[in-house]
Amino acid sequence: MPRFLIIKRVINLCKKLLNKDTEQSVDFPIVISRDQHSVSRKYISDNALKVLYRLQKSGYDAYLVGGGVRDMLLGIEPKDFDIATNATPEQIKKLFRNCRLIGRRFRLAHIVFGRDIIEVATFRGHHDSASKQDKNCTKTSKQSDHGMLLRDNIYGSIDEDAERRDFTINALYYNVGDFKIYDFANGVEDIKQRKIRLIGDPETRYREDPVRMLRAVRFATKLDMQISAETEKPIKQLASLLDHIPAARMFEEFLKLFISGKAQANFEMLREYGLFKYLFPIVDQALSEEDNETLKSFIHLALSNTDARINNDQRVTPAFLLAALLWYPLSRQVSQLKQTTQLTPQDAFFSALHEVMSEQQRSIAIPKRFQSPMKDIWILQDKLSKREGKRAYKTLEHPKFRAGYDFLLIRGEIEGGDIALLAKWWTDFQSATPDVQQMMIKSLPVGRNSRRTIRKRRKPRTKAAKTD
């Protein structure tokens, strides 16, 4: 039996004898033997096993923890292989030449195997015990006025680490040494009951890290589970705490929520709990207005298309979905500028683009590598409507034509009318022969945008008569 279990049992026995039992948020660990669970090394990546074995051979405790264990118990192929250990980040770095230490808020070790990264975290401890032992604990732990953890590098034992984890289904530790699972929060039972439940007091845990509200939604949709009543109760009341989360971290959460194959389900649940507006405030405001059916239908179609592509192992880019979410707020802003100012259409577009993106960046820090494709998709909506002369061919050669065309297809399906006809024209144009393409362009109705300019021939200059 592991030494920590013997020590824990002795402590609990002493408490009972002294009649000083105190209520614990995490019960005594349930030990599940190999013949009672479905977790197997054959489902664990070779690189994760290398890290686990090296840590254990070096005299440290090391466990596969969290999502990897949970998914195997659910019969889902695991993708994340996080490891928890009693080795400090510096000790881990000494063992692995391919290790790099990251993070201020949480000090973590990343063991790099090419593109595969195994994340190793040291067991977390409690802040109150740290303050008693270390007078300078503010150097390793710090909280904001709202109770959010700003820095948290206090180390402890495995049972303390389990209490510090967010949800019961993630407080599961698998030991490759004895093939047993150590369940510190009755997580296996919650998996059976398909419940998302926080460890400890929900309000306190949300204040420590408001992103846990987003994680609760993501796990519920990903695992087809329900958020327990006590876990969901404070969410609407505390949703505003997300305002204090750095915009860069919110972008990472956006990717997990919307580029995972469950975008549509997450969108609905985020709106239900009042969380969506802290990701996309201008979109949420537009959705709250009376005439929002077109916007809502457009977003639903874009989300469902993204989910379908991901679930079919097709390539997706966050830029396309971000462009879809912000398209109607941008279009409305362009229209308002055209009506209230004397800006040219092009200037109105770029002015609206600056306003919308600046507002959005306060909530989610969209990297520049995605901002440029978003702008291309939006600009192409205008270019696709101008097809006369050689314009259609130039648009067809645009590097982001396919993304702009796919965007137009979604617009056509929702808006109908001229947009639907325009989308069909481009569908036919792409598959037509060169001769047919010429006929399609010539048969376009002559309008203000398709007016041809006739160049006047310049008269040849006449040489001036020479004078004697």
243 catalytic? Reply is: no
The Cα 267–Cα 254 span in angstroms is 11
Neighbour tally for 261: CB within 10 Å = 18
Neighbour tally for 344: CB within 10 Å = 10
The answer to whether residue 158 is domain-embedded is yes
Q: Which of 61, 166, 209, 307 is catalytic?
A: 166
In the prediction, which pLDDT does 464 show? 55
| DSSP class per residue in 245-307 | S-HHHHHHHHHHHHSSS-HHHHHHHHHHTT-GGGT-HHHHHHHHSSS-HHHHHHHHHHHHHHH
3-state DSSP assignment of residue 353: helix
The answer to whether residue 298 is domain-embedded is no
The answer to whether residue 59 is domain-embedded is yes
Q: Give which of 404, 398, 256 is closest to 320, Cα–Cα.
A: 404
Q: Are 269 and 220 in contact (CB under 8 A)?
A: yes
Which CA distances in Å does 107 have to 104, 150, 249?
Answer: 6, 12, 16
3-state DSSP assignment of residue 226: strand
Neighbour tally for 226: CB within 10 Å = 14
The answer to whether residue 235 is domain-embedded is no
The answer to whether residue 252 is domain-embedded is no
| DSSP class per residue in 91-159 | HHHHH-TTEEEE-SSS-EEEEEETTEEEEEEEPB--HHHHHHH-TTGGGTEEE-TTS-EEEE--B--HH
Count up the domains in the chain and report the number: 1
Q: Which of 61, 71, 82, 307 is catalytic?
A: 82
The answer to whether residue 112 is domain-embedded is yes
The answer to whether residue 150 is domain-embedded is yes
152 catalytic? Reply is: no
The Cα 166–Cα 375 span in angstroms is 38
Q: What is the pTM of this model?
A: 0.82
**DSSP one-letter code for 36:** G
The Cα 363–Cα 247 span in angstroms is 5
pLDDT per residue as tens, the chain (468 positions): 455 454 555 444 444 444 434 334 444 689 999 999 999 999 999 999 999 999 999 999 999 999 999 999 999 999 889 999 999 999 999 999 999 998 876 789 999 999 999 999 999 886 554 444 454 443 444 555 554 544 456 888 999 999 989 999 999 999 999 999 999 999 999 999 999 999 999 999 999 999 999 999 999 999 999 999 999 999 999 999 999 999 999 999 999 999 999 999 999 999 999 999 999 999 999 998 867 889 999 999 999 999 999 999 999 999 999 999 999 999 999 999 999 988 999 999 999 999 999 999 999 999 999 999 999 999 999 999 999 989 999 999 999 999 999 999 999 999 999 999 999 999 999 999 999 999 999 998 876 544 444 455 566 666 555 544
The answer to whether residue 131 is domain-embedded is yes
406 catalytic? Reply is: no
Edge-to-edge strand list for the sheet holding 30-32: 30-32, 180-183, 172-175, 62-65, 82-85, 116-122, 108-113, 99-102
Q: Which of 80, 284, 382, 406 is catalytic?
A: 80
- What domain range includes position 103? 23-196
> What CATH number did the domain enclosing 134 receive?
3.30.460.10
| DSSP class per residue in 156-220 | --HHHHHHHSSBGGG-EEEETTTTEEEESSSHHHHHHHTEE-BSS-HHHHHHH-THHHHHHHHHH
